[in-house]
Structure 1
Amino acid sequence: MDNTSSERIRRRLIFFPLPLQGHISPMLHLANILHSKGFSITILHLKLNPPNPANHPHFTFRLIVDDDFSKESFNADLVSFLALLNDKCVEPLKQALLAEGDAVACLISDAIFHFTTGVCESLRLPRIVLRTGGVCSFLAFAAFPLLLEKSYLPLRDDRLEEAVIELPPLRIKDLPVINTPHQDMLYELVQEMVHQTKASSGLIWNSFQELEETSIAKLHQDFQIPIFPIGPFHKHNVNSNSNSNSNAPSSQNHSSISWLDKQVPKSVIYVSFGSIATIEEPEFLEVAWGLASSKHPFLWVIRPGLVRGAEWLEMLPGGFLDGLNGRGHIVKWAPQLEVLAHPSVGVFWTHCGWNSTLESICEGMPMICTPCFTDQRVNARYVSHVWKVGEQIEKELNRERIERAVRRLMEEREGEEVRERALFYKEVANVCVRPGGSSYDSLSKLVKYLSFS
């Protein structure tokens, strides 16, 4: 085989993201980064939450037939849905990879797709894993066998405040579990994810050395595979016109930015609870009245379906917005990176999904944390007790706790100290992706590894 053919074989990468927005976006960011390094990119995807090819004209997109999957099956129970994906996608993925032919360097798959190990082994194709969460939460997942043995799991209401001695600074209430009737299925899914990640050819992280140094050192001890922390993905200087938020509204409504332009610097609370979290009506109303009573302007992203049993805003009290005299702005979607970088925003109230946590850190933005499930709980604990760039509302949401948290971060000395630490991490995040930085060097190693493995 001549050198030209050999080079072509090594330069096509196949990406297979989990069909949840918090997993799709970083996968597409990574694809853009590696495309900028000369790789050809194919994205395999399902019918559920498909990426928009028009936003990524430089990629090839291939649909895997998935008639068994729907938003209804996902909404019914997340754990059952993920188990179903791992069961039903085996043959469709194998056929899709066979259709790509020989000119493929490797498959880059989401860590939760643990079944891809067997498919790639059968085709003698290297498999590299992208873990879209933080290293700190992954180590908690990896400890599930120990947590079960020590009776930290399953959770018990009378032990939630106890420390997990083996995983400081986590308490039992911070462990990355989810409310599901299928707890055994959850434990099995997590253990397979960890086991098959250890069996992969390498592990990519949307994180950086300086943020998770202790966790990354522990990971190197426990996982005898190449590890590449190359994040924050969105901070890499990639020349691309693509929009990695593939499911953003086609109108790209920027009313939130024009509203922010009219506000005082560092005066606005930005509120967004991610793409899949849901809350009950009483919590929703406490959030609304807590924001109103804080007396600070707020930009609140309320996506349709956020409140269980509601389409959108029908559960807001009558006249609520009128009574704010323009101090509140509610939208279905906002361009989060632009919002967090806007000079009018002073605090981000977040569910602490990893993408939101990392984006907030990168903009030096203090956080109010109300995690819902899985890795969000770990992230919130690290935000408040390790990086100390925010605080967590620990108990059930009520308007008094919300108002106090906002005032502490927006008005008091404690909030100034949190902002100083957040700005420190912002600068570190900027430096690590520049030549000589930790993520820049790790990316160079990844490119070499993909080219010649």
Structure 2
Amino acid sequence: MRNISMGERGRKVHGIMICVPYQGHLNPFVSLALKLASKGFAITFVHLEFLYRKLCDAHHANKTDVDLFSGARELGLDIRFTTMADCFPLEFDRDANFPEYWDTMVRDFPALADEFVGNIVSSEPDMLHFLVADTVYNWPAAVAHKYNLVNVSLWTQPALVYCLAYHWDLLEQNGHFPCKDDVPEEIKYVPGVESINTKDLMHYLKESQFASVANRLTRLIFEQAKMADFVLQNTVEELEPQTLAALHKYLPNYAIGPLNFSKNLPTNTVTTSLWSESDCTDWLGSKPPASVLYVSFGSFVHTNKQVLEELAYGLVLSGVNFIWVIRQGILGDGDTNALPSDSFQDAIQERGLILGWCDQIKVLSNPAVGGFLTHGGWNSTLESMWSGVPMICYPIGFDQPCNRKLVVDDWEIGVNLCEDYGSVDREQVAHKIKSFMNGGVSDKLKENASRLRQLVHNAVEIDGSSEINFDRFVKDLEAKIHAQN
């Protein structure tokens, strides 16, 4: 452990960390907080109040019982934990009302963040402060400038998605922001992106989503992102070298992922999971090696009953063993009955296990698991790569089409569930799953998955690229803070 980071005249350096309220952002933010504290920085980790309530409810705990960093403090790290309000009452369903929530967050949350950060800065005048905020917010640059804070932006998706969104003005000039929904075209003019088809762009760049809050937010957040002092990328340099090198020409850019697997960090006494987890270790232990397909659409995206029904019967027809995570709220319309019928449970018998949530890393690392049917969220993609598990990709929205391109086309560690996004047929699903799990995973796919598994493991070792980049970032951060104060 380093000595405590000090600025001029022995003033301690303190980071204020605020992430957007989703599982896929919370996990890497917590890991980054621990990494920074382990380097000697004081850290204040800020939860939105409703998210902290959800965390407590998931672990059947009182508000005072859940402390993500108690173990770290016992080891001597200076890491504090606090909450702040957003723009809605606790009982408001933010997932089911996504457009309303983010319209209001874009408009009203910046003032709350400004006041909150300002209060922390004024209450600790003897410290040198810096800000670590999620790139997906539209206020960090303005707040950092107001309080003379070094502005660190953490991006929790692949560098490819960052690069495309960063160059939204270039896409707009070439008629691809928005791009036509049903007219596939190759894009070869974005620095750092050799070629990408418009069908693989993020959904909020499409014509049908032009009026969406995600589309409007893209412009706002990347106007702010271009003013960041440092950008941390939750990826691995060897995975996206061309894209990262191109971005580095525009801003200080550090690939430090996968953050969730950083080495030598204090163990959390409480999981960061926002849902109660089921343990399926015994069930997996009863299955042969590489015989189980793990199925999950992650912690945030919504789908519809038709998709779930076709997938359910496709799983039945495939005859493979499977674990299927169907989280509460996956339908997004308040309907809690996600499965097609009670007869589905009878049809799967001992071959299938339906769960509300689980420890995904633990499941993927189990030798019984031979494949992962995934929406392709970035956390899920990294976790599958970490475990060397090939993927069947069914992207639903946001960054997932881009992630599919990386997994299937570039890295060749996965296959498509279907060729047309959104089109799901049970017979095709059954055929794809059956061939994939029963010898259909080619030797090349397995070799590539094994190779990339080693690559991401190597990156987080002491002499790995991500650790070297993180040490370089810490050195540059300290120099910037000292120069600015």
Q: Within 1, Cα distance between the matches of 2:105 and 2:376?
A: 25
Unaligned runs of 5+ in 1: none
State the Cα distance separating 1:120 from its structure 2 match. Answer: 1.2
Q: 1:67 to 1:32 in 2, by over 3 A?
A: same
Partner residue in 1 for 2:83: 63
Unaligned runs of 5+ in 2: 57-65, 74-78, 481-485
State the Cα distance separating 1:337 from its structure 2 match. Answer: 0.7
Q: Within 1, Cα distance between the matches of 2:7 and 2:336?
A: 54
State the Cα distance separating 1:13 from its structure 2 match. Answer: 1.2
- Residue 444 of structure 1, aligned match among 454, 471, 476: 471
Per the alignment, in what secondary structure is the counterpart of residue 403 of structure 1? helix
State the Cα distance separating 1:265 from its structure 2 match. Answer: 0.5
Partner residue in 1 for 2:155: 131
Partner residue in 2 for 1:278: 302
- Residue 311 of structure 2, aligned match among 287, 295, 307: 287
State the Cα distance separating 1:245 from its structure 2 match. Answer: 5.0
Q: Within 1, Cα distance between the matches of 2:470 and 2:182?
A: 45
Partner residue in 1 for 2:108: 88
Q: Within 2, Cα distance between the matches of 1:170 and 1:5?
A: 45
Instruction: Decide which moves more: 241-250 or 39-48.
Output: 241-250
Q: Does 1:394 align with 2:414?
A: no
Per the alignment, in what secondary structure is the counterpart of residue 231 of structure 1? coil
Q: 1:402 to 1:25 in 2, by over 3 A?
A: same
Q: Within 2, Cα distance between the matches of 1:37 and 1:31?
A: 10
Q: Within 2, Cα distance between the matches of 1:365 and 1:211?
A: 16
Partner residue in 2 for 1:38: 40
What TM-score comes out, normalization by structure 1 length?
A: 0.91
Instruction: Decide which moves more: 91-100 or 310-319.
Output: 310-319
- Specify the code of the residue in structure 1 equivalent to 2:239: L
Partner residue in 1 for 2:267: 241
User: What does residue range 297-376 of structure 1 map to in structure 2 within 5 Å?
Assistant: 297-309=321-333, 311-313=335-337, 315-376=339-400
Q: Does 1:173 align with 2:203?
A: no
Q: 1:181 to 1:417 in 2, by over 3 A?
A: closer
Q: 1:377 to 1:245 in 2, by over 3 A?
A: farther
What TM-score comes out, normalization by structure 2 length?
A: 0.85
Q: 1:68 to 1:439 in 2, by over 3 A?
A: same
Q: Within 1, Cα distance between the matches of 2:68 and 2:146?
A: 33
- Specify the code of the residue in structure 2 equivalent to 1:11: V
- Residue 219 of structure 1, aligned match among 238, 243, 247: 247
User: What does residue range 372-387 of structure 1 map to in structure 2 within 5 Å?
Assistant: 372-387=396-411
Q: Within 2, Cα distance between the matches of 1:80 and 1:8?
A: 46
Q: Within 1, Cα distance between the matches of 2:116 and 2:194?
A: 43
State the Cα distance separating 1:169 from its structure 2 match. Answer: 4.0
Q: 1:205 to 1:5 in 2, by over 3 A?
A: closer
- Specify the code of the residue in structure 2 equivalent to 1:84: T
Q: Does 1:405 align with 2:432?
A: yes
Q: Within 2, Cα distance between the matches of 1:267 and 1:205?
A: 34
Q: 1:398 to 1:10 in 2, by over 3 A?
A: farther
- Specify the code of the residue in structure 1 equivalent to 2:447: E
User: Does the 8 Å CA contact 2:319/2:434 hold for their aligned counterparts?
Assistant: no
Q: Within 1, Cα distance between the matches of 2:198 and 2:347?
A: 41
Q: 1:434 to 1:315 in 2, by over 3 A?
A: closer
1:41-87 deviation per Cα after TM superposition (whole angstroms, max 9, x unaligned): 21123223225642322332222232436675634554553342233
Q: 1:327 to 1:236 in 2, by over 3 A?
A: same
1:184-225 deviation per Cα after TM superposition (whole angstroms, max 9, x unaligned): 75444212222221211100011111111111112113x2x3
Q: Within 2, Cα distance between the matches of 1:312 and 1:203?
A: 39
Q: How many residues align?
A: 446
State the Cα distance separating 1:414 from its structure 2 match. Answer: 4.5
Q: Within 2, Cα distance between the matches of 1:355 and 1:4?
A: 33
RMSD between aligned residues: 2.4
- Residue 237 of structure 2, aligned match among 209, 215, 238: 209
Q: Within 1, Cα distance between the matches of 2:22 and 2:292?
A: 29
Q: Within 2, Cα distance between the matches of 1:253 and 1:389?
A: 28
1:280-306 deviation per Cα after TM superposition (whole angstroms, max 9, x unaligned): 111111110111111110000001121
Q: Within 2, Cα distance between the matches of 1:194 and 1:281?
A: 35
- Specify the code of the residue in structure 2 equivalent to 1:253: S
Instruction: Decide which moves more: 305-314 or 264-273.
Output: 305-314
Instruction: Decide which moves more: 440-449 or 66-75.
Output: 66-75
Partner residue in 2 for 1:195: 223
1:221-275 deviation per Cα after TM superposition (whole angstroms, max 9, x unaligned): 3x2x32111111122213322168524445x431x22211111110000001011
Per the alignment, in what secondary structure is the counterpart of residue 354 of structure 2? strand
Q: 1:8 to 1:357 in 2, by over 3 A?
A: farther
User: Does the 8 Å CA contact 1:109/1:130 hold for their aligned counterparts?
Assistant: yes
Q: Within 2, Cα distance between the matches of 1:274 and 1:191?
A: 26
